[in-house]
Amino acid sequence: MKSEKAQNKILQLLKKEGAKTAVELGKTLDITSMGARQHLERMEKEGLVSSEEVSKGVGRPKKLWQLTEKSQSHFPDRHDQLTVDMLISIKNVFGEQGLDELIEHRSKETARQYHEALDSHKDLEGKIKALAKVRSREGYMADYEATDIGFIFYENHCPICSAAKACQGFCQSELEVFAELFEGIARVERLEHILQGARRCAYSIILIS
């Protein structure tokens, strides 16, 4: 496996699944653990990954590899510093109300587009699968899994992170859009939040009995 291709796959795996050992990465990539370790050491020199020794019970500590802040530049970001500057300008010129109106307009348009993708599906999983597809297309690297009472919806990347840091109303509006999409069917709650230091955003979507 070519070095660049292998490193891109490692970045994607660590982004989606969190910290892993070289052995785990090697198995997934179908290469030796030594080969995976060599890629990781090169990536560490580039500042893309870091490692830590973790002890779990008896036996030797395991070295877990995780992404660094620098690695985020390898993932899509739809809002750069220009967008952040524009948000600040909107707030300065039109005040908080103007910014709130902008966010509300964006939320309504987003909800409309998502309804077009979801409403043809009658069951909850079909709707969630459609939402994951739409959000992944937008750069959120979305996925989901079933639980005993519903589903957990994951977003492993935030392509609007810069804008969300400058104006957290975007995050609140997205949660409200999700809640509106499943209104009367399921209850949506945020479990993990990137802006609060989590590796990803996660939502519980609990079926209403």
59, 74, 89: which is the final residue of a domain?
A: 74
Domain extent, residue 193, equals 81-207
pLDDT score recorded for residue 179: 96
pLDDT score recorded for residue 77: 60
pLDDT score recorded for residue 78: 59
pLDDT score recorded for residue 159: 82
pLDDT score recorded for residue 108: 94
pLDDT score recorded for residue 137: 92
Q: Are residues 50 and 115 in the same domain?
A: no
CA–CA distance from 193 to each of 29, 96, 189, 198 (Å)? 29, 24, 11, 5
Q: Cβ(171)–Cβ(195) under 8 Å?
A: yes
Torsion sign (Cα): 140, 183, 189, 126 = negative
Q: Are residues 70 and 88 in the same domain?
A: no
Q: Cβ(149)–Cβ(164) under 8 Å?
A: no
Q: Are residues 7 and 37 in the same domain?
A: yes
Percent of the chain scored above 90 by pLDDT? 62
Q: What is the CATH number of the domain that holds 127?
A: 3.30.1380.20
Q: How many domains does the chain have?
A: 2
- Which ranges of the chain would DSSP assign to H, the alpha helix? 3-17, 22-29, 33-45, 81-118, 124-137, 161-166, 169-181
Residues of the chain with pLDDT under 70: 1, 57, 76-84, 166
Q: Cβ(169)–Cβ(100) under 8 Å?
A: yes
Q: At what angle do helices 169-181 and 124-137 cross, to 10 degrees?
A: 150
pLDDT score recorded for residue 79: 53
Tokens of 197: 């230091």
Q: Are residues 53 and 11 in the same domain?
A: yes
pLDDT (tens digit per residue) in 150-162: 999 999 998 887 7
pLDDT score recorded for residue 1: 61
Q: Are residues 164 and 110 in the same domain?
A: yes
pLDDT score recorded for residue 188: 97
- Whole-angstrom Cα distance, residue 20 to residue 10? 10
